[in-house]
Amino acid sequence: MGPDAGTPAPSYAAVVLAGGTAARLDGIDKAGVEYAGRTLLEHALAAVAGAAETVVVGDHVPTSRPVTFTREDPPYGGPAAGLLAGRDALAVTPARLFVLAVDMPLVGPGAVARLLDAATEHDGAFLTDEDGRRQLAGVVDVAALDRVRP
């Protein structure tokens, strides 16, 4: 065991969705957009820094820490295709999977922890906006995801 012997391993992996078309941004690379001195991708990676493993669904770019890159099939197939591609790229199957859209830089480790806690004993938990619409920041139970996937 390493220096953290006795500390429980993180019970979740993360999928960062960074492979969209960025239609509202005239097609620019959202992951590379800078906000508050860091790229949106680096904000997302910081939010899920506690994950045992992180997969980025999008084009391969340099990152501050090791991640796995993959693409969804079909390309630009949307968030469901991205989530499943990310899940399939994991080296180890975790109990829970945190999914985060790259264009949500205000989601940080505290929100991730609260969502992980909210998902306990449930199939998942997601952030919602003031109108109750689910946002692309949340937790899914991997066994439940695997049962319902096409």
Residue that has been written with the tokens 């992951």 in this structure: 31
By percentage, how much of the chain surpasses pLDDT 70? 89
The answer to whether residues 87 and 142 touch, using CB atoms and an 8 Å cutoff, is yes
- Please check the confidence at residue 137 and state whether its pLDDT lies above 70: yes
Delimit the domains of the chain by residue range: 12-148
pLDDT band at 10 (very low <50, low <70, confident <90, very high): low
pLDDT at 73: 85
CATH 3.90.550.10 for the 12-148 domain, yes or no? yes
pLDDT at 71: 95
pLDDT digits (tens, 9 = 90+) for 18-70: 987 666 666 678 899 999 999 999 999 999 999 999 999 999 999 999 999 99
Question: What's the pTM?
Answer: 0.89
Q: 58's torsion region: left (phi>0), alpha (psi -120 to 50) or beta?
A: left
Q: How far apart are CA 63 and CA 112, in angstroms?
A: 20
